[in-house]
């Protein structure tokens, strides 16, 4: 599938909200913003991903605030990206004409996204051009909590009522009478608005906006010059790579799970979480996916970040903020009603307090992939990794909260044990391949012990499947990763049976898969959720590795068709309506798309990628 030229579509709100799928994402490696098809930026946190939102109208259409550039009386619109960039274009039709808004969080001239350095200018640039007729343009800047504007130089200095330490500077090519006004333009006429933040940022605009936009596009194009994949759904794989990069906090190498908080996993349900942090698991999946398509710099940045974070705290935890510290305590915000009145809105994430043993495998496997790419493990780094390997050896049978972060007492999750196997296996391989010290024989023996335990103790003959816990339990789609992490071969009879059981018992229809069934696998949270997209991509990989290539290809293509017109994917899909659910866009889903494309490319011979190593 290539992304077809988008068609204009009417603006249709549900319960006063634009559908999640009617948004595109822009970012600069420090923060990100959601831009709706209605011309409103309804989500942006400043100065970084996990800061308090400046605009969060997507969580409360009346009080959350937005930055709107749209025709008065907007009728229909379409969105698309500048090719191979994070620069988004929204075309909107009003009663008497059509306007185009080009949105970018801008980069410094010559910025290199492969470096661990601040590339962004701390600037949101919005450029308007009237393509046809005459357009009366609504310009509205409404920060969450209100703001006061005072004249400053050629624009405004904006003081947010709820953010005493955040100064904003608004510049425009035509004078604006205030933070809410109307600009009248005719065909071919242009207008721009620049919103800047951080001390001194208002003094550093030395170039015209057209030059700044050109530099930003060039920075994206240079980054994508390292992209090497040629295979199925290449256009969507390229877009997924850019989306993952938009979730990369470039100063430290941390990669967030998603740029948003509290977009619900079911409308009216309470399963609303803050994903603006760096989960070791999610970030490891992301850098591994990027490595497979030629974008290797993120792996070394992530490994350095996570090991520094581990060193600071003495042991790995589930997630960190962008600088390797613990995120703030989880709290509910009664001020905001939630997307489509789906309360509560939450800030912070209590999963940071959980034990999840799979982090050991994620870290060691990332180091293994990094070393196989030619990097060297120095003695200090290896000593840190040895401690993690030994933790996996000691703790694999100890109950934890698992990959899905259940809010019940811990259980001996099969996935967690499997990733402890990964830590031991990759640790043994690293030591042997690179001549490093370590209990290679002991690690190998313990890894084999875990593998046999999974096949024996987690197997339920009545269900005909490997179950979620050592000792039995419900069915869990994360078990589809066992072949992908080289714990159990895809064609092992028990793995084939488990794949079929997942399709039958966790299938939500049309190729969609639930993670698990809460009534069979209690997670301590009321309500239900949508189908989890990553699980369907895992199913693609299993089908392909079992030789069921036609089924795998059909399923992959159907999942790709679920991307929105600009190629973005959510965390979950409502099986009944097909609507997007959960935080958006979701790194996990784009990781799944990339990984399945690579698997299918290799197994169908669509691409010669012998320079990649698949673990």
Q: Per residue, what are the HEC states of 525-568?
A: CCCCCCEEHHHHHHHHHHHHHCCCHHHHHHHHHHHHCCCCCCCC
Q: Are 530 and 515 in contact (CB under 8 A)?
A: no
Cβ-proximal residues to 238 (8 Å cutoff; 6+ apart), any chain: 84, 224, 227, 229
Question: Does the pLDDT at position 228 exceed 80?
Answer: yes
Judged by average pLDDT, the poorest of 52-61, 255-264, 305-314 is 305-314
Which among 503, 580, 601, 599 is positioned nearest to 258, based on CA atoms? 580
> What is the per-residue pLDDT for 612?
25
Which segment of 12-26, 117-131, 318-332, 365-379 scores lowest on mean pLDDT?
365-379
Is the predicted pLDDT of residue 203 greater than 80, yes or no? no
Q: Which two tokens stand for residue 292?
A: 């497979």
Global pTM reads 0.95
Encoded tokens for 195: 């919103």
Say if CB 73 and CB 55 are below 8 A apart.
no
Distance CA(118)–CA(107), nearest Å, equals: 9
* pLDDT score, position 206: 60
- For residue 615, pLDDT over 60 is answered with no
Whether the predicted pLDDT of 450 surpasses 70: yes
Is the N-terminal amide bond of 344 cis, ω within 30° of 0?
yes
**How many residues are given for the chain?**
615
Q: Which residue has the tokens 């205030």?
A: 178
Peptide bond into 47 cis (omega under 30): yes
* Confidence at residue 610, expressed as pLDDT on a 0 to 100 scale: 32
Instruction: Examine the pLDDT at 98 and tell me if it is beyond 90.
Output: yes
Q: Quickly state the pLDDT bin for 192 (edges 50, 70, 90).
A: very high
Task: Tell me what percent of the residues of the chain surpass a pLDDT of 70.
Answer: 97
413 pLDDT higher than 50: yes
Show the tokens assigned to 375. Answer: 């990097």
According to DSSP H, which parts of 458-532 are helical? Answer: 493-505
Quick one: pLDDT band at residue 205, thresholds 50, 70, 90?
A: low
Interatomic CA distance for residues 132 and 385, integer angstroms: 60
- pLDDT confidence band for 199 (50 / 70 / 90): low
**What's the chain's average pLDDT?**
93
The separation between the first and the last C-alpha atoms of the chain, rounded to the nearest angstrom, is 27
Banded model confidence at residue 599, pLDDT cuts 50, 70, 90: very high
| Mean pLDDT score, 213-235 | 96
Looking at per-residue confidence, does 465 or 612 come out higher? Answer: 465
Give the closest residue to 35 by CA, choosing from 8, 4, 60, 57.
Answer: 57
Burial of 504 (0-12, 13-18, 19+ CB in 10 A): exposed
Positive or negative: CA dihedral 239, 243, 248, 254: negative
| Residue 613: per-residue pLDDT | 30
Q: Give the residue-averaged pLDDT of 563-584.
A: 98
Instruction: List the beta bridge partners of residue 126.
Output: 103, 193
Q: In whole angstroms, what is the distance from residue 394 CA to residue 416 CA? A: 13
Using only C-alpha atoms, what is the Rg of the chain?
Answer: 24
Q: Which domains does the chain have, with CATH numbers?
A: 9-224 (2.70.98)
Confidence (pLDDT) at 606 = 62
Tell me the backbone φ, ψ of residue 365, rounded to 5 degrees. Answer: -65, -40
User: Which residues, 6 or more positions from 306, have their beta carbon under 8 angstroms from its beta carbon?
Assistant: 280, 283, 284, 316, 324, 363, 366
Confidence of residue 474 (pLDDT cuts 50, 70, 90): very high
Structure tokens at 373: 């790419």
What pLDDT sits at residue 2?
54
Write the pLDDT tens digit of every residue in 122-169: 999 999 999 999 999 999 999 999 999 999 988 999 999 988 889 899
Instruction: List CB contacts of 366: < 8 A, sequence separation 6 or more.
Output: 284, 287, 288, 299, 302, 303, 306
Strands 512-513 and 507-509 come out as antiparallel
Average pLDDT over every residue of 193-203: 74
Please, what sign has the CA dihedral across residues 317, 321, 325, 327?
negative
CA distance 359 to 109: 38
Which 3 state secondary structure label does DSSP give 480? Answer: helix
Indicate whether 336 pLDDT > 50: yes
Tell me what pLDDT residue 1 has. Answer: 45
The answer, yes or no, to whether residue 608 has pLDDT greater than 50, is no
Please answer whether residues 32 and 74 qualify as being in contact, where contact means their C-beta atoms are separated by less than 8 angstroms.
Answer: no
């Amino acid at each position: 599938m290539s992304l077809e030229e988008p068609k204009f579509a009417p603006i249709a709100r549900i319960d006063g909200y634009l559908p999640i799928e009617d948004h595109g994402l822009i970012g600069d490696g420090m923060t990100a913003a959601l831009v709706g098809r209605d011309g409103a930026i309804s989500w942006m946190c400043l100065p970084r991903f996990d800061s308090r939102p400046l605009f969060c109208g997507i969580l409360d259409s009346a009080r959350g605030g937005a930055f709107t550039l749209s025709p008065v009386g907007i009728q229909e619109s379409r969105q698309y990206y500048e090719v191979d960039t994070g620069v988004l274009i929204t075309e909107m039709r009003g009663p008497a004409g059509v306007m185009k808004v080009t949105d970018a969080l801008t980069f410094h001239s010559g910025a290199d996204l492969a470096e661990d350095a601040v590339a962004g200018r701390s600037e949101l640039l919005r450029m308007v051009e009237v393509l046809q007729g005459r357009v009366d343009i609504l310009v509205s800047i409404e920060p969450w909590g209100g703001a006061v504007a005072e004249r400053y130089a050629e624009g405004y200095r904006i003081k947010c009522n709820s953010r005493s330490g955040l100064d904003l500077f608004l510049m425009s090519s035509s004078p604006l009478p205030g933070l809410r006004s109307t600009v009248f333009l005719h065909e071919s006429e242009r207008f721009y608005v620049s919103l800047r933040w951080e001390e001194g940022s208002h003094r550093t605009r030395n170039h015209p906006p057209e030059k700044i936009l050109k530099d930003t596009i060039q920075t994206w194009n240079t980054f994508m010059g390292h992209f090497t994949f040629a295979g199925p759904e290449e256009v969507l794989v390229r877009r997924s790579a850019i989306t993952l990069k938009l979730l990369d906090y470039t100063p430290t190498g941390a990669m967030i799970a998603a740029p948003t908080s509290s977009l619900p996993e079911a409308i009216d349900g309470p399963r609303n979480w803050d994903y603006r942090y760096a989960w070791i698991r999610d970030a490891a999946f992301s850098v591994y996916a990027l490595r497979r398509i030629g974008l290797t710099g993120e792996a070394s940045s992530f490994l350095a970040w996570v090991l520094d974070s581990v060193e600071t705290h003495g042991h790995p935890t589930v997630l960190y903020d962008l600088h390797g510290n613990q995120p703030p305590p989880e709290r509910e915000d009664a001020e905001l009603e939630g997307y489509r009145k789906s309360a509560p809105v939450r800030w912070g994430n209590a999963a940071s307090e959980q034990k999840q043993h799979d982090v050991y495998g994620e870290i060691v496997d990332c180091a293994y992939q990094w070393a196989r790419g030619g990097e060297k493990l120095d003695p200090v780094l290896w000593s840190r990794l040895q401690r993690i390997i030994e933790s996996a050896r000691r703790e694999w049978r100890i109950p934890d909260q698992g990959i899905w972060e259940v809010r019940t007492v811990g259980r001996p999750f099969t996935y967690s044990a499997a990733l402890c196997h990964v830590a031991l296996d990759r640790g043994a391989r690293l030591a042997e391949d690179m001549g490093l010290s370590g209990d290679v024989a002991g690690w190998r023996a313990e890894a084999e012990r875990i593998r046999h335990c999974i096949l024996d103790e987690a197997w339920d003959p009545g269900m005909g499947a490997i179950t979620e816990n050592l000792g039995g339990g419900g069915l869990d789609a994360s078990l589809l990763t066992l072949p992908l992490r080289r714990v159990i071969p895809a064609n092992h009879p028990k793995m084939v049976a488990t794949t079929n059981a997942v399709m039958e018992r966790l299938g939500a229809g049309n190729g969609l898969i639930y993670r698990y069934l809460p009534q069979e696998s209690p997670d301590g949270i009321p309500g239900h959720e949508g189908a989890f997209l990553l699980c369907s991509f895992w199913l693609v990989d299993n089908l392909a590795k079992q030789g069921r290539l036609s089924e795998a290809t059909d399923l992959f293509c159907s999942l790709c068709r679920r991307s929105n017109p600009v190629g973005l994917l959510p965390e979950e899909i409502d099986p009944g309506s097909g609507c997007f659910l959960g935080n958006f866009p979701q790194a996990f889903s784009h990781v799944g798309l990339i990984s399945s494309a690579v698997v299918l490319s290799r197994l169908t011979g669509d691409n010669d990628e012998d320079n990649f190593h698949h673990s």
